[in-house]
Amino acid sequence: MWTIIAPQGYRVQFIIHWLGIEDHRYSRPGTCGDDNVVVTEDRGTEVGANVVKLCGCQRLFKHVSFNKKMWVSFSSYKKANWPGFYATYQVLGEF
């Protein structure tokens, strides 16, 4: 799990440029039961609100946080060899 915190008054832009992880093994397709990347954020009254749960093979996902704090977690079944994912983040100007 990664915790990304911007300075007070700023937001975080998180981008997954490429995602290549397992979608499912024993669960229904699209449920992200084995490997997944979960993005959560602090939305003021909803700390830890899920933004998205991603899996499978995708090209681009972009999200700008509501507040200054965001969490990104990666979970893997660890039995199959999938390439993984490539992501970056940056702090955006004051809001």
Q: How confident is the model at residue 26 (pLDDT cuts 50, 70, 90)?
A: low
Which residues on adjacent β-strands are paired with residue 88?
Answer: 15
Are 89 and 15 within 8 A, CB to CB? yes
Residue by residue, what is the 3-state secondary structure of 27-57?
CCCCCCCCCEEEEEEECCCCEEEEEEEECEE
Q: How confident is the model at residue 30 (pLDDT cuts 50, 70, 90)?
A: low
pLDDT in tens, 33-76: 778 899 998 776 666 677 888 888 877 899 999 889 999 999 88
**In terms of Cα–Cα distance, which of 65, 40, 44, 60 is closest to 52?**
40
* Fold entry, domain 2-90: Jelly Rolls (2.60.120)
Q: How confident is the model at residue 81 (pLDDT cuts 50, 70, 90)?
A: confident
* Average confidence (pLDDT) over 26-34: 69
Which pLDDT does position 3 carry in this prediction? 94
Entry pTM? 0.81
